[in-house]
Structure 1
Amino acid sequence: MIAQHANKIFSQAIHDYHVLNNIDHPIKNPYEAHTLEHLLYLKCWIDTVQWHMEDEVRDPNIAPVEGLKWKRRIDQSNQDRTDTVEYIDSYYLNAFKDVKPLPDARINTESPAWAIDRLSILALKIYHMQIEAERRDATPEHRDQCGQKLRILLEQREDLSNSIDELLEDIKMGKKYMKVYKQMKMYNDPSLNPVLYTGEKK
């Protein structure tokens, strides 16, 4: 089951990051390049780093220049995240390239990789919600509320994991087929963002 395998890799990436808990610490991906495992680890590492960038930029006392610096780093991280998701979809497109869809095969609302993207984010939510549910310096009410949220997140991960496995099995059996659309983000592209290609300022 790919989802269970992915969840283990996500937990590993999150644990590895929090050994030093440093946004600028370089990734040491333990998996061989060009493998699915390498991409899954990279995907969750990017998400984990960005999670902490998002914490930093929400500091109410942050200086505007510092906030802009974080905003630009988050923009680049989002682009890296999108690129990695598309690499994962390319992996599956190649894996299923010889599958002939059945006449009544249907397309899914999202590709396998974008569902896996949500699974990676869920892993982070679970990790941090568990910390809050066990935080000794928090009130009992806070811990109880976070414990309830944690149980919902764990249920959500189980449901999403099952759905991902079912989707991949359906594609493998020809019951569903993949059709991937590139994100085509425009605001990072100097040829598509008017502020970048005309120098206009509002």
Structure 2
Amino acid sequence: TIMRKLKEAFLAFQIERRYTKDEILQLYLNQVYFGSGAYGVEAAARTFFGKPANELTLAECALTAGMPKSPSRYSPLVNESLALKRRAVVLKQMARNGMITREQLTAARSSPLSLATSQNSSIKAPYFVAYVRNLLEKEFGGARLYRTGLTVYTTLNYKMQKVAEKAVAKGLEQLSARMQKHGLLTLQSKEARGTSGHESPQAALVSVDATQGAILAMVGGKDFQESPF
């Protein structure tokens, strides 16, 4: 709507008055979502490659830069082929803009994909973390959250969280089997789960302490990297 565009323009004007372009970029890189529960470029580097951002190769930087456009589509953990195609697009743009040489382009484009062997760095209870993160953004603003940082204590019970995740996974597995038996879940639908996530069944679960209203466990789907909030 026109009103929304005016609000966006006013907000952009206020941000540029308060922060330099480098500070705005820093703020963006610290909060943009890369998939697999990784918010910010540093978290993405450790999640996908198992090392800090300042140690990434050119090929790894290009792959990382290409993910925010559609994390569920271009994450190498979801679809390696699409991730590599997206990496090639980013590298080509870098060469076109004179940021890298043709030799660097060729070398990076042919570089094999080397992902972290362990996903232990992935965020636990990602749906709950995303929920809390959104609340903190509204309460304190992105600048305070992503530049100065906050220590946050939550009500999550991780033992209950693991039970909830297993319950959702088991329930979806049983539902998928019944749907497949009755012809409601086709082979094409199962193959599409890694790219769209719309054709296969999903489920959600929230466990609340009724006496205090505290959230003890939260699951928003089968897999956060395939079906985030």
- The TM-score, its normalising length taken from structure 2, stands at 0.24
Which gives a bigger RCO, structure 1 or 2 (Cα 8 Å, sep 6+)?
A: 1
More strand by proportion, 1 or 2?
2
More helix by proportion, 1 or 2?
1
